[in-house]
Structure 1
Amino acid sequence: MKTKLKILLIEDDMIEIMKLNRAVSSLELDHQIIEAHNGEDALKLLEKKDNLPDIILLDLNMPKINGIEFLGLLKANDTLRYIPTIVLTTSSNQRDLLECYKIGVAGYVLKPLKYEDYVSKIEKLMAYWSINELIKA
């Protein structure tokens, strides 16, 4: 049985936010997407702990706190460390990839240039996490 996911999207680019929302809508997925425009805003949302997401989609290149710094802070927190975090980025830098997996990322997905390829990746990503047994932090 597929689960309705509560997804925290941490992304500073409004076009990317609209693109994800459009992809989820076009796939007719019933997931709740909560938006944070940088790592600092995301940490404030997560501090409340009353409405934690099932998964986090994280961009790496952001102002204030970048994605790798955010991951380090998230994984250092005894409650938040268990929320699966998937990097959704344009960075194919192998150092970024390695660092994210060292810190404990659940996945690393490159954003393709073609919208159809992007939708296909989002569909697979959502399908995978919808059938997973997720810990309620």
Structure 2
Amino acid sequence: MTYLRAILLVEDNPDDERLTIRALRRSNITNDIVVAHNGEEAIQLLATIEPLPCVVLLDLKLPKIDGLEVLRQIRGSDRTRLLAVVVLTSSSEDRDIVESYSLGANSYVRKPVEFDQFNEAIRQLGLYWALINEQLPGGL
């Protein structure tokens, strides 16, 4: 039996957190979902969680440490530098997109405002990153 690695959701908005988890569950994504509510909590989790998550869904506008700094620290650590990171944010600012990719984001997804579109975007993200994408062996 293959162990399903967790999905790390880094999200400070309780409504977006609930919607994201609900959309993943409705898509039959059965991976554990670990939630960090700010950047500092995300960095602490990534220092200790075993195995590493299959993907980090990372908001940019976070308290304590913003998402770009979280991404910078993920890529700067030997432990997490190869971890899949999807920026999942409401920002469509060019500078956020460019900076995210410059720091090594694997994908940048703007959260759709419309409920059905939001659910579909999360469904596709979950299916791709948790089931279709070939993960690094050994929880790297």
Asked if Structure 1 and Structure 2 have the same fold, meaning a TM-score greater than 0.5 normalized by the shorter chain, the answer is yes
Give the Cα separation in 1 of the matches to 2:69 and 2:37.
15
TM-score by length of 1: 0.93
Equivalent residue number for residue 58 of structure 1: 58
Query: 2:56 touches 2:84 (CA, 8 Å); kept in 1?
Result: yes
Query: 2:39 touches 2:70 (CA, 8 Å); kept in 1?
Result: yes
Identity across aligned pairs (percent)? 38
Equivalent residue number for residue 134 of structure 1: 135
Give the Cα separation in 2 of the matches to 1:77 and 1:66.
17
Question: Any idea what the Cα deviations from partners look like across 1:72-99, whole Å, max 9, x if unmatched?
Answer: 1110001101110000000000000000
Give the Cα separation in 2 of the matches to 1:5 and 1:79.
16
TM-score by length of 2: 0.91
- 2:135 is aligned with what amino acid? L
Is the deviation greater in 123-132 or in 67-76? 123-132
Contiguous gaps of at least 5 residues in structure 1? none
Equivalent residue number for residue 99 of structure 2: 99
Give the Cα separation in 2 of the matches to 1:65 and 1:76.
15
Match of 2:87, SS state, is: strand
Equivalent residue number for residue 118 of structure 1: 118
- 1:97 is aligned with what amino acid? I
Q: CA RMSD in A?
A: 1.6
Alignment length (residue pairs)? 136
